[in-house]
Amino acid sequence: MKIYHNPRCRKSREGLQILEESGKDFQVIKYLVEVPSKEELKSILEKLDYKPAELVRKTEKVWKENYKGKNLSDDELIEAMLTYPKLIERPIVVTSVKAVVGRPPEKIKELF
């Protein structure tokens, strides 16, 4: 199990706490530092059963300044998230077969 985590985000910290309390083995990936590869991001989207647009944080300043109002393809949205990983919704917890966005953080428990 992996958690894509931003330590500065309260929801992400709450999600991490849920995992720590679960007793499950997991890996913490600080995705702003260790940006996922394109293949990894596509795999996460597939496990979430999300379109790229559903994973984008549209309230981020970088989204509003560079992308808002543009008709972007899925590939362009993925590239935007890889270029600006802050645009990736958080936290994301991934198993070998499924993933959830921890909003609310309790959703993470669906993976146990």
Each residue of 58-111: pLDDT tens digit?
Answer: 999 999 999 999 999 999 999 999 999 999 999 999 999 999 999 999 999 999
Residue 7 preceded by cis peptide, ω within 30: no
Q: What is the pLDDT of residue 71?
A: 95
- 56 is known as an active-site residue: no
Each residue of 6-37: pLDDT tens digit?
Answer: 999 999 999 999 999 999 999 999 999 999 99
- Choose the catalytic residue: 1, 2, 5, 9: 9
- Long-range contacts, stretch 100-107, CB < 8 angstroms, 24+ apart: 100/48, 101/48, 101/50, 101/55, 102/3, 102/11, 102/12, 102/14, 102/15, 102/18, 103/11, 104/11, 105/11, 105/14, 105/15, 105/17, 105/18, 106/18
Q: Which domains does the chain have, with CATH numbers?
A: 2-111 (3.40.30.10)
